[in-house]
Structure 1
Amino acid sequence: MSLHRKHRNFTSLSRRCRRKKVLALKNLIHKERYRCGGLFYDECDISQYDNPDRVWGWSDIYFIGRDPAEFWNAEIITAQVAFNDAVESRAFDEAYGLLSEQERDSEFQRETRPDYNANGEIVSHTLIDRQSKGYRAFGGLTFSQYVQKREEEIARDTPPEVHRRYQYLHGFTYGLGLRIIVDVTSLSQQVIEEAITDFRLRGECEWCSPECVSFET
């Protein structure tokens, strides 16, 4: 079998093959029902978030679709995580765009040193820490300092809009890709189950709430 065939998109597989994968996931969900509740499967240790002081902001979950030959490979995140991701991405892209090509190469170049075993053989490489460099485009600030500065300014002055939503993610080799944004402070088994139930009631279609999530404190 060619290497390409080993990584075919889930949607390109035969219906028989997809049904087989759905059945395997269904059995796994049933097996792990004592831990995940029986509606979805999550590889992470959910019990670690029983502590109210720990915020569960995102998770990768799997659940069965309405079609017996489909299941969903979903990223579920809180609106706050989605907001932070948008702010960080905008600040990074802005900083990256202000640097010249030569400055980018210098900033993101990674140097390593070899690690040897007792026989003098290279067994690994260790990343060498480099001193951060200030740039004229950033008013003398380093890349990370400028990004942090812009994150604070963006969040305060031009905050991105975040909506509750179900968004398809294409090209997955394991299941159908989906991104779920929920307006809660922290995830929980109940929150995930309610999101899955609502997604199914909406026909497992993409959806975006017309109302923005409020982050006012």
Structure 2
Amino acid sequence: MKRNADEYGGLFTSHLVLDEPGRPDLYNQWFDFYFPGLDRFTIWNATIVSARKAFWDAAHELAYQRTAAMLTQAEYAAESIMEFEPAEVSNTGKILSYRLIERKELQYEQFDGLTFAEQWTKLESEIVREAPPTIHESFRLDRSYAYGIGLHVILDVDVIDRIAIEQAITQFREIGETDWQAANPVARERLPVVSEKEDLESINI
């Protein structure tokens, strides 16, 4: 961490680029980083997301579940099929690589003629506007990681930058480096009224 202190400030390190010049705030809604525990032996392998990003992820997953639930088992299985064909073949006839076969997306009567992807996108937008999921600031430990102890952080900030990450580390240490969830949810006015896809499409890069 000392080696990367000029880039990350000294409290944490990462393999990702932080505070990239010219990068829109909408692309700075999450970050992976590492920092030592108070015992100086534990390595926290952390992912931090903004409340906005957590909200979008929750709406995205909920829309997928609801869309999938509208299909029969056979229809859902058909949506999951991936077929490949040889892409490169050696002079001796050995297949060196494969490519995914593009298939025509199926349209469904229960989706009013929309495809699975179109219905998923439609429901996601509706959920964001009409039935927004509840998001809490939180710290959640994950001991399944091979390197260090996993830590999932949700923080109500406009952008994930060095200040936000340092704030999260300080708060995590103050609560005793344990699981925690805020008593009150993030205020609705702090969360988006459009889906992540819609918001990203509005950016002209």
What is the TM-score with the length of structure 1 in the denominator?
0.81
Q: 1:118: Cα distance to partner? A: 4.9
Q: What residue number does 2:5 align with? A: 33
Number of corresponding residues: 188
**Structure-1 separation of matches of 2:37 and 2:80:** 42
Q: 1:32: Cα distance to partner? A: 1.6
Q: Check whether the contact 2:19–2:161 (CA below 8 A) recurs between aligned residues.
A: no
* One-letter amino acid of the structure 1 residue matched with residue 113 of structure 2: G
Residue deviations 1:60-103, cap 9 Å, x none?
Answer: 11100012321111110000110000001001011112211111
**Structure-2 separation of matches of 1:170 and 1:89:** 23
After superposition, residues 65-214 of structure 1 pair within 5 angstroms as 65-119=37-91, 120-214=93-187
Alignment partner of 2:140: what SS?
Answer: strand
Identify the range of structure 1 (112-121 vs 167-176) with the bigger mean alpha-carbon deviation.
Answer: 112-121
Superposition RMSD in Å: 1.6
**Structure-1 separation of matches of 2:24 and 2:151:** 28
Residue deviations 1:100-140, cap 9 Å, x none?
Answer: 11111111101111022451431111111111111123222
Percent of residue pairs identical:
35
What is the TM-score with the length of structure 2 in the denominator?
0.86
Give the structure with the higher percent helix: 1
**Structure-2 separation of matches of 1:64 and 1:154:** 38
Unaligned runs of 5+ in 1: 1-28
Q: Which runs of 4+ in 1 moved over 6 A?
A: none
Please point out which of 50, 56, 61 is paired with 2:33. 61
Unaligned runs of 5+ in 2: 191-205
